[in-house]
């Protein structure tokens, strides 16, 4: 018998505005027996079971379910390794069948900074062409190709230095990101990130803007009147990291520094040569790129390792991550239904329904993995574009 839908909202923080990450909805089922417990206790245990699944998929670091729900679940018997803060939890369905009770809960979870269940997996980043916000500033030196040169250098550094990501370059054409960002059109940016990720088979997308490459007014060698004036030049750069599956922004950071432009102002400079990169200004940009690689790693290493399902056949699936990302034979994944939705105001929200199925990897290629269900049963309503997540 199905009971009336109940909702219990639980707030664990004094101010939700302190969170820097976006919350996501996770829907999961839990089960418990009423053979030895009352219906109330069994319902609590079933909710614990369902919330445990949701937290483990979202990733977290609290010691018990009791901490997560702040007293709603009265039995502190399940000690788990999970990471996440629950903004709210809803009991949306309840089914009694003999001496079993099954519940469906929907949890609104804010992932914490350090949910690192997939450190051994590399994430694929699509690195798009940067945008010169003040293109006229590139006139001195004619360094109009700086937008491509900086991104190319960043990609090379990721390849050599990153432990948790690898890049793919998109340089042939500029994206609409800067125009959309300038007009604060967050929903279209989400759509753009998801479209680019889908087209290039990437998990994450990086956009960037070069905000300032202007000159300081005072020259650095003004006291040496017999020499040509050398002037400090600014470099102000912003990175934006987006999840390609749901379009959510994960992180952004700005980087600024100044260095002497030790070239004649009338000389055309090729920003793709050693002459530029070994100059004082090029060395300064290069140092900032090292910091960017470190920051990208720090912010992406604990993001979930999510593979998109590209083929379903009976009890077997193929996902779009493989040996190159660190997947190994025998790795187990939980399957999720991607249930992102758009409100009547046009806002996109990410959501996931956790299926009861788990699969184990049986064969690999460089960029894909074949996995079969643990019990060799058919994978129910699992479809192409659903997700496989390792936690």
Please report, for the domain that includes residue 377, its CATH number.
2.40.10.410
Give the integer Cα–Cα distance in Å for 145 and 130.
10
- Quick check: is 116 in a domain? no
3-state SS assignment for residue 148: helix
370 in Cβ contact with 38 (< 8 Å): no
- Quick check: is 84 in a domain? yes
Q: Which of 280, 300, 320 is the last residue of a domain?
A: 300
Looking at the structure, do residues 236 and 135 belong to the same domain, yes or no?
yes
What is the chain's pLDDT, residue by residue, as a tens digit (391 residues)? 333 333 232 222 323 333 334 557 788 888 888 888 888 888 888 888 788 777 766 654 434 444 444 434 433 333 333 444 666 778 888 999 888 899 888 887 765 544 455 556 888 999 999 999 999 999 999 999 999 999 999 999 999 888 888 889 998 888 999 999 999 999 999 999 999 999 998 999 999 999 999 998 755 544 343 344 578 999 999 999 999 988 989 999 999 999 999 898 889 999 999 999 999 999 999 999 999 998 998 888 877 778 889 999 988 999 999 998 889 999 999 898 877 777 777 777 767 788 888 899 999 999 899 999 988 778 878 888 899 987 6
**Measured torsion, CA atoms of residues 224, 226, 227, 230, in degrees rounded to the nearest 10:** 50
Long-range contacts of 12-18 (CB under 8 A, 24+ apart): 12/68, 12/70, 12/85, 12/86, 12/87, 13/85, 16/87, 16/110
Q: Which residue range forms the structural domain that includes residue 386?
A: 305-390
pTM: 0.66
pLDDT of residue 22: 55
| List of E strands, the chain | 6-8, 24-33, 62-64, 79-82, 85-97, 100-110, 123-128, 131-132, 165-170, 204-212, 231-243, 249-261, 305-313, 316-319, 332-338, 341-342, 348-349, 351-364, 369-373, 387-390
Looking at the structure, do residues 309 and 323 belong to the same domain, yes or no?
yes
305 in Cβ contact with 390 (< 8 Å): yes
Give the integer Cα–Cα distance in Å for 126 and 205.
5
Looking at the structure, do residues 219 and 285 belong to the same domain, yes or no?
yes
pLDDT of residue 242: 96
Q: Which of 300, 320, 345 is the last residue of a domain?
A: 300
Cβ count near 81 (within 10 Å): 13
Looking at the structure, do residues 141 and 247 belong to the same domain, yes or no?
yes
Looking at the structure, do residues 83 and 224 belong to the same domain, yes or no?
no
pLDDT of residue 338: 75
103: CATH: 3.30.1660.40
Looking at the structure, do residues 39 and 152 belong to the same domain, yes or no?
no
- The single-letter DSSP state of residue 216 is P
Q: Which of 57, 84, 110 is the last residue of a domain?
A: 110
Give the integer Cα–Cα distance in Å for 260 and 181.
31
Looking at the structure, do residues 28 and 145 belong to the same domain, yes or no?
no
- Quick check: is 152 in a domain? yes
Looking at the structure, do residues 189 and 296 belong to the same domain, yes or no?
yes
Looking at the structure, do residues 32 and 136 belong to the same domain, yes or no?
no
Looking at the chain, how many residues does it have?
A: 391
Looking at the structure, do residues 309 and 289 belong to the same domain, yes or no?
no
247: CATH: 3.40.50.10610
How many folded domains does the chain comprise? 3
- Quick check: is 71 in a domain? yes
Looking at the structure, do residues 292 and 191 belong to the same domain, yes or no?
yes
Looking at the structure, do residues 215 and 234 belong to the same domain, yes or no?
yes
């Amino acid at each position: 018998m199905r009971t009336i839908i109940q909702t219990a909202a639980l707030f664990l923080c004094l101010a939700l505005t302190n969170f820097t990450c976006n919350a996501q909805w996770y829907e999961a089922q839990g089960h418990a027996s009423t053979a030895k417990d009352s219906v109330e206790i069994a319902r609590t245990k079933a909710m614990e079971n369902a919330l445990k699944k949701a937290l483990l998929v979202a990733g977290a670091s609290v010691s018990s379910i009791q901490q997560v729900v702040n007293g709603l679940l009265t039995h502190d018997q399940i000690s788990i390794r999970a990471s996440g803060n629950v903004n709210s939890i809803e009991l949306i369905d309840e089914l009694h069948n003999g001496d079993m009770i099954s519940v469906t809960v929907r949890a609104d979870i804010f992932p914490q900074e350090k949910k690192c269940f997939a450190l051994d997996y590399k994430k694929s980043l699509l690195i798009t062409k940067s945008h010169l916000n003040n293109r006229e500033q590139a006139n001195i030196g004619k360094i109009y190709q700086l937008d491509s040169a900086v991104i190319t250098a960043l990609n090379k550094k990721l390849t050599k230095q990153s432990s948790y990501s690898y890049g793919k370059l998109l340089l042939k054409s500029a994206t609409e990101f800067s125009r959309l960002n300038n007009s604060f059109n967050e929903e279209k940016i989400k759509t753009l990130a998801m479209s680019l990720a889908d087209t290039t088979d990437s998990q994450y997308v990086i956009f960037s803007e070069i905000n300032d490459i202007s000159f300081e007014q005072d020259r650095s060698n003004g006291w040496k009147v017999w020499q040509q004036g050398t002037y400090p030049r600014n470099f102000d750069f912003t990175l934006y990291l987006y999840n390609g599956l749901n379009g959510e922004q994960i992180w952004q950071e700005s980087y600024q520094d100044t260095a002497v432009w030790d070239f004649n102002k009338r000389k055309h400079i090729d920003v793709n040569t050693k002459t530029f990169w070994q100059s004082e200004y090029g060395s300064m940009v290069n140092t900032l790129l090292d910091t960017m690689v470190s920051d990208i790693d720090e912010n992406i290493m604990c993001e979930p390792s999510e593979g998109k399902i590209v083929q379903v056949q009976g009890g077997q699936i193929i996902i779009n991550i493989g040996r190159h990302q660190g997947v190994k034979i025998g790795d187990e994944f939980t399957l999720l239904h991607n249930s992102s939705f758009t409100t009547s105001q046009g806002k996109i929200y990410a959501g996931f329904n956790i299926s009861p199925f788990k699969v184990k990897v049986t064969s690999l290629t460089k960029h894909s993995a074949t996995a079969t269900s643990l019990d060799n049963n058919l994978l129910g309503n699992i479809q192409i574009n659903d997700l496989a997540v390792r936690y």
